[in-house]
Amino acid sequence: MPTFLENIFAQLKRADARVVLREIRGEQFVSATGGELLEMVGQVRTFLRNSGLQPGDRCALLAPNSIQWVAFDLALIAEGVIVVPLYSRQAPGELADMMKDCQPRRLFVSDAGLGEAVAQAWREAPPRVLFDELLKENAPKAAFSDEPISRSDSDIVTIIYTSGTSGEPKGVCLNVGNLSYMLARTTERLGQLMSVKGGGSPDRVFHYLPFNFAASWLLLLSCLTRETTLTLSTDLNKLAEEIRLSSPNYFLNVPTLLERVRRGVEEALSKRAAPIQTLFGKSREAWQHQNTGHASALDKSWLWLARKMIFDKIRERFGRDLRALICGSAPLAPETQQFFLMLRIPVLQAYGLTETTGICTMDDPREPAEPGYVGAAIPGIEMKTGQNEEILTRGPHIFTGYWNREEETARVLRDGWFHTGDQGEMNARGKWRIRGRIKNLIVLNSGHKTAPEPIEENIARLLPAAQQVVIVGNGRGYLGALIAGSVEAAAVQAALNLVNRELPHYRQVRKFELLGNAFTPESGLLTANGKLRRDAVNKRYAAEINAMYEDKKEREAVSRQHA
**Residues 397, 468 within the same domain:** no
Give dist(CA 378, CA 362) in Å, integer.
7
State which of 200, 224, 249 marks the end of a domain.
249
Q: pLDDT digits over 155-198, tens only? A: 999 999 986 434 578 999 999 999 999 999 999 999 999 986 66
509 C-beta neighbours (distance < 10 Å), count: 26
Q: Give the pLDDT of residue 419.
A: 96
Q: Give the pLDDT of residue 530.
A: 63
Name the amino acid, one letter, at 156. I
**Residues 520, 394 within the same domain:** no
Taking every pair of C-alpha atoms in the chain, what is the biggest distance, in angstroms? 77
Q: Give the pLDDT of residue 554.
A: 46
**Residues 121, 8 within the same domain:** yes
**Residues 97, 116 within the same domain:** yes
For residues 330-345, one letter each, b for 16 or more C-beta atoms within 10 angstroms of the residue's C-beta and e for the rest, the string is: bbbbeebbbbbbbbeb
Q: Over 90: is that where the pLDDT of 380 sits?
A: yes
Domain with 29 in it: 4-249
**Residues 316, 452 within the same domain:** no
Q: How many structural domains compose the chain?
A: 3
Q: Give the pLDDT of residue 527.
A: 61
Measured CA to CA in angstroms, residue 470 lies from 514, 534, 535, 544, 547 at distances of 11, 8, 11, 12, 15
Task: Give the list of residues 6+ apart from residue 281 with CB closer than 8 angstroms, or none.
Answer: none
Contact assessment for residue 88 and residue 63, using Cβ atoms and an 8 Å cutoff: yes
Q: What percent of the chain has pLDDT over 70?
A: 94
pLDDT-based confidence at residue 555 (cuts at 50, 70, 90)? very low
Contact assessment for residue 243 and residue 318, using Cβ atoms and an 8 Å cutoff: yes
Element (H, E) at 346: none
Average pLDDT, the chain: 89
pLDDT-based confidence at residue 222 (cuts at 50, 70, 90)? very high
367 C-beta neighbours (distance < 10 Å), count: 12
Q: Over 80: is that where the pLDDT of 87 sits?
A: yes
Give dist(CA 202, CA 230) in Å, integer.
10
Q: pLDDT digits over 283-337, tens only? A: 999 998 988 888 889 989 999 999 999 999 999 989 889 999 999 877 788 888 9
State which of 197, 217, 249 marks the end of a domain.
249
CATH number of the structural domain spanning residue 416: 3.40.50.12780
CATH number of the structural domain spanning residue 524: 3.30.300.30
Give dist(CA 41, CA 58) in Å, integer.
18
In order, the DSSP letters of 79-97 are: TTPEEEEE-TTS-HHHHHH
**Residues 69, 217 within the same domain:** yes
State which of 399, 422, 437 marks the end of a domain.
437
**Residues 493, 557 within the same domain:** yes
In order, the DSSP letters of 363-423 are: --TTS---TT---EEPTT-EEEE-GGGEEEEESTTS--EETT-HHHHHHHEETTEEEEEEE
**Residues 105, 84 within the same domain:** yes
Distance of CA 542 to the CA centre of its chain: 27
**Residues 79, 149 within the same domain:** yes
Q: How many residues does the chain have?
A: 563
**Residues 110, 219 within the same domain:** yes
Q: Over 70: is that where the pLDDT of 562 sits?
A: no
Average pLDDT estimate for 1-13 = 93
Give dist(CA 309, CA 325) in Å, integer.
22
Measured CA to CA in angstroms, residue 356 lies from 230, 246, 352 at distances of 24, 30, 6
**Residues 53, 88 within the same domain:** yes
Q: Is 293 helix (H, G, I), strand (E, B) or coil?
A: coil
pTM of the complete model beyond 0.85 = no
Strand order in the sheet with 509-516: 466-472, 479-485, 509-516
Contact assessment for residue 107 and residue 129, using Cβ atoms and an 8 Å cutoff: yes
Give dist(CA 360, CA 350) in Å, integer.
7
**Residues 26, 166 within the same domain:** yes
